[in-house]
Amino acid sequence: MKIFTKKDSEIIKKFIIQGSVFIYPTDTIYGIGCDATNNEAVLRVRSIKQREKKPFSVIVPSKDWIMENCKVKENDLKLLPGPYTLIFKLKKKCVAESVNLGLETLGVRIPSHWFSKIVKETGIPVVTTSVNLSGQKYMTSIDNLDPAIKEAVDFMVYEGPKEGKPSEIIDLATGTKER
């Protein structure tokens, strides 16, 4: 597994566009993801995580992307960027069906983190889910990265240990919150 840092942003963008599956930092915890429009890559993430039934959320390029693809009310985006995942009803298909499993909703994030700039510059939504096998503890540092996940991803963007917790989920399609 190749390990990159913030200074390698041009290489990281190239690999995202090519359909790589990778680990990356956010403002909360490390995520595992890929180009959310690339069905084959999304299926790889599902296989790596052993997660078949629960939809994934995505880091999106911008608030404009959200407004173009999701049903948004005036104040819905005030929490972004930040440690939140907002679930919206979709206006149109904008990610591979394997991301949201055919649901008419999508969880979106814009982390308050430099990695969001990479997503913005590619213009591609990126799957965002914790780095762990489903039901297991999520990764906080390279030292507790599950060996099976380490072997299965194409690269990692690492910036040291993370002490955060997963983003708060706010379902604006139904009006519920969860962590």
Q: What is the pTM of this model?
A: 0.94
Q: Which domains does the chain have, with CATH numbers?
A: 2-178 (3.90.870.10)
Q: Annotate the chain with DSSP letters as a single string.
A: -EEE-GGGHHHHHHHHHTT--EEEE-SSSEEEE-BTT-HHHHHHHHHHHT--SSPPEEE-S-HHHHHHHB---TTTTTT-SSSEEEEEEBSS--S-HHHHTT-SEEEEE--SSTHHHHHHHHT--EEEEESSSTTSPPPSSGGG--HHHHHHSSEEE--S-----PPEEEETTTTEEE-
pLDDT per residue as tens digits for the range 84-138: 999 999 999 999 999 999 899 999 999 999 999 999 999 999 999 999 988 889 9
Q: Give me the sheet containing 22-25, strands edge to edge.
A: 2-4, 155-157, 22-25, 30-33, 126-130, 57-59, 105-109, 84-89, 168-171, 176-178
Q: 46-94 pLDDT, tens per residue?
A: 999 998 889 999 999 999 999 999 999 989 999 999 999 999 999 999 9
